[in-house]
Amino acid sequence: MQNQNMNQTGQQIPPNMQQNATISKNHGGHEIFDAHEVLAGIINMLDQYQMYEQHIQDSELKNIAQRQASFVTQTYNTIVEAFSTGQDPTVPTQQYKMTQNNDVVYGVKPGQPKKPNSSINQLSDQGLSAYMLGNTKSLSTLLAMTALEMTNPVIRRVIADSVPNFIELSYEIFLYQNKHGYYQVPQLMQQDMNQMLNGYTTVPQQGNTTH
């Protein structure tokens, strides 16, 4: 029986190639494509944040962009390491801490109709923060979807654990926009809201409830 550390010509396989051969079998094909899409999406976000930062005027929004980019860079490194090795990353998934409070301003105020910019000189903090929100929301969806397709338990956990962070990134930008009147939140009439809120009721749990 041929030594498992020898190739077909009888030559010794280097340890790093032995490890890579084992690692390569610990990923499904669909997972490989999804992981590449996730990593490419994160690179795209980080590249765009660099462009946004050059045009942001508000120091608060610039600070949000810088902190988010720093956090996502570490997330990217963690995912790359977990994906390439199939092992626990050196730096585990972190938890993003936003600086905005949770106060939401409700109601819609009249304003000018929106339209595309006619030149780059018309870029504003309102538009730039909207682009940032688009980046984080799309990645939240992508991460949640790809986590369901992962076979390697480590990369699956890293991707899944990153979903709440990108939701938090999105929420922070939403709160910033809402505070400045960029993202307005309409509400239902009180009577309609109460009707919807009371549209369901709980039921007794059946079977063994002891966990």
Residue-level pLDDT at 61: 97
Cα separation, 116 vs 71, whole angstroms: 31
Q: Based on the number of CB atoms within 10 Å of its own CB, is 199 exposed (0-12), middle (13-18) or buried (19 or more)?
A: exposed
Residue 6 lies in a domain: no
56, 65 Cβ separation under 8 angstroms: yes
Residue 64 lies in a domain: yes
Residue 63 lies in a domain: yes
pTM above the 0.85 mark? no
Q: Mean pLDDT in each 10-residue stretch from start to end of the chain (211 residues)?
A: 48 49 61 92 98 97 98 98 92 94 92 90 96 98 94 94 98 97 94 94 82 58
- Cα-Cα end-to-end distance for the chain: 50
Residue-level pLDDT at 210: 63
35, 29 Cβ separation under 8 angstroms: no
Nearest to 93 by CA among 1, 189, 182, 168: 168
- Report helix angle 125-147 to 29-55, nearest 10: 170
- Provide the CATH number for the domain around residue 155: 1.20.1260.10
What are the backbone dihedrals phi and psi of residue 74, each rounded to the nearest 5 degrees, phi first?
Answer: -65, -40
Residue 30 lies in a domain: yes
Using one digit for the tens of pLDDT, what is the confidence trace for 131-165?
999 999 999 999 999 999 888 999 999 999 999 99
Using one digit for the tens of pLDDT, what is the confidence trace for 13-37?
445 444 444 445 677 777 888 999 9
Residue 181 lies in a domain: yes
Residue 185 lies in a domain: yes
- Specify the number of domains making up the chain: 1
Q: Structural domain of residue 59, as residue ranges?
A: 26-106+123-197
Residue 190 lies in a domain: yes
